[in-house]
Chain A
Amino acid sequence: MDTRYIITSTAAAVIALGMNAGLAPAKADALDDIMERGSMIVAIDPTFAPFEYTDSEGNIIGYDPELLEAIAEDWGVEIDYQVMAFSGVIPGLIAGSFDFTATALNITAERAQKIDFTIPITSTVNAILTTKGNANVTNSNINDLSGNRCAVKQTTQPEQMMQSMNEELSAAGMDEVELLSFDTVEQTIAALVDGRVDCVVDDIVVLHKAMASRPDIEMEIVGEIGTKAVIGWGTNKDDPKLNAALNDALKKLKASGKMGELQEKHFGFRIDNLPEENFIPEG
């Protein structure tokens, strides 16, 4: 093998792939771009009912889109959705491929190091879903789940929560929960229906929606697991003006009661006392 070939190849690979790591674009705040353009480019992954999903004609609907529509109307701009798989959303936001994301994001300390969050627009908790009458899973106590198979959506907060709980289980000398990680909520439910797993762990609101969507299968939520978390949208760290403007708009929607109405409509209940400060959990 020719050394010259190896050296050129390696150098080119490093340059090509490392290119985007170092350079940061010098640009105006995305808010100015939006106003100038008359439209906001917003990333969304509409596979997460009731937060964001599609109707039978393919229109994007849900809690987040309706909030966003109210803001767009207020600002007098159009919404230009960038519909994309979730795995591209946060990397794209960091790179500045769109203005911001209105996909429901769990507000976590790790994410807050890389992106900015808006104020929380809802709070949530994870829960355990199983098929009715499953003798292996009767409650949501982690010690009782030990040794069972459980489906989660990959790279999400529920998955990471279960992984930490597994560490505690094995530290206590117990069997871990065997995790199967899939790409979408629908696939975790399919794994449960096919008998590949005993239970599914996800956001309780999402699980309720999933149960309602599969009336042919008898499923039940046996309990909540883990602590409550807050959900918000994400902006690039270079766009503080946009972040502030979104926060102002969201506060206005909250004060007018519109946000509560939408929560009632999409979740079936209202969430009071959402924090507006110090809402980033400690890492």
Chain B
Amino acid sequence: MDLEQILKYAPLLLEGLKVTIIISTAGILLSIVTGAVLVAMQRSGIRPLAVIVRIYTEIILGIPILVLLYVIYFVLPDIGLRLSELAAGLLTLTLYYSPYMAEIMRGAIDAIPSGQLEAARSVGMSRLQAARRITVPQALGLIIPPLTGISIGLVKDSAILSIISVHEFAFETKQVVARTYAPFEFWTFAAICYWTILFVWENGMRSLERRVTRYREAR
């Protein structure tokens, strides 16, 4: 690998990496919030809301993010909604990932038998104690592994925003590859960068998972 070339383009690439980290973080937070709204709508007891969530989820789970991005960026202007590149990108990530986030939360809520809470109450725990000692540790233990997976997917999918000219990491890598014609060197470098970030993230989440699931050891 030609280190000199990589050093030459490193500032540009790191600038792109910064944008990737920022939009990914925003995308993860927004999709968690939107996912929670979806769960609330579904559990609201209002049937039309639940049906809307259901249809929305089926559609999103079925179409590739690329197709969604095309629709938001190139088709919405036809009906008068012209979003900037960054806004269109964030909206795509949020709309696409919120059903996944919702599914994780729903799964975690359903997995905790309601009997446990009743039992906790009957042995004299307060509502707060029951939530803190029974619900939250179990729910987090169930949420963290899939959340890690989904958020890793989001970070990597953010590379797709390069096609609408968001100057993130993959965009800058493509630029550099087109200038140097050294695809192996720079895509390998890109891979290592993505991998390093996600490695740290994954391991952080794993140790968090171990912390919150200490109760399993005592089983």
A–B direct touch, CB within 8 Å, in complex?
yes
| Max count, chain B CB within 10 A of own CB: residue among A21, A156, A179 | A21
Mark the stretch among A12-20, A60-68, A70-78, A251-259 that contacts chain B. A12-20
A99 CA / B85 CA spacing, docked (Å): 38
CB-nearest residue of chain A to B167: A181
Q: What total of A-B pairs shows CB separation below 8 Å?
A: 65
Q: Which of B183, B185, B199 has the most CB of A within 10 A?
A: B183
User: In the docked arrangement, what's the CA distance between A182 and B70, Å?
Assistant: 11
**Stretch among B52-60, B93-101, B124-132, B172-180 lining the A interface:** B172-180
A111–B192 CB distance below 8 A: no
A-facing mask of B181-195, CB < 8 A → 1, else 0?
101110010011001
Task: Please pick, from A18, A87, A187, A195, the residue contacting B174 in the complex, using a CB distance under 8 A.
Answer: A87
Given contacts A17-B191, A155-B175, A181-B165, contact A194 B203 (CB under 8 A): no
> Within 8 Å of chain B (Cβ to Cβ): is A1?
yes
Which residues in window 140-167 of B have CB below 8 A to A?
A: 162-165
State A21–B186 Cα separation when bound (angstroms): 11
B174 touches A182 (CB 8 A): no
Q: Which of B163, B165, B179 contacts A160 (CB 8 A)?
A: B179
The one of B165, B179, B184, B203 in contact with A21, judged by C-beta atoms closer than 8 angstroms, is B184
Q: Contact at A194–B184, with CB atoms within 8 Å? A: no
Instruction: Tell me, yes or no, whether B82 is within 8 Å of chain A by CB.
Output: yes
Interface residues on B, range: 20 to 34
Contact present for A182 and B82 (CB under 8 Å): no
CB of A155 within 8 A of CB of B177, answer yes
- In the complex, A141 has a CB within 8 A of chain B: no
B165, B177, B183 — which one has the most chain A CB atoms within 10 A of its CB? B165
When distances are taken between beta carbons in the complex, the residues of chain A under 8 Å from B77 are: 194-196
Contact assessment for B74 and A194 in the assembled complex, using a CB-CB cutoff below 8 Å = yes
Closest 3 CB pairs of A and B: A155-B178, A194-B77, A91-B183
Interface residues of A (CB under 8 A from B): 1, 9, 13-14, 17-18, 20-21, 87, 90-91, 94, 110-111, 113-114, 154-156, 159-160, 179-183, 187, 190, 194-196
List 6 interface pairs A-B (beta carbons < 8 Å), by A numbering: A1-B203, A110-B179, A154-B175, A154-B178, A160-B179, A194-B78
